[in-house]
Amino acid sequence: MVAVTAGKVYGFDTERGKGGRVPTRAVFAVDRESLEVHVHHRFNVRVLELIDSDGAAIELEGPRLPGFHAGSVIDALRG
CATH architecture of 2-78: Roll (2.30)
Lateral strand order in the sheet of 20-31: 2-4, 8-17, 20-31
Average pLDDT over every residue of 15-21 = 87
Lowest mean pLDDT among 16-20, 37-41, 55-59, 65-69: 65-69
As a whole number, the mean pLDDT across the chain is 86
- The answer on pLDDT for 60 being more than 90 is no
- The answer on pLDDT for 3 being more than 70 is yes
First to last CA, the chain: 19
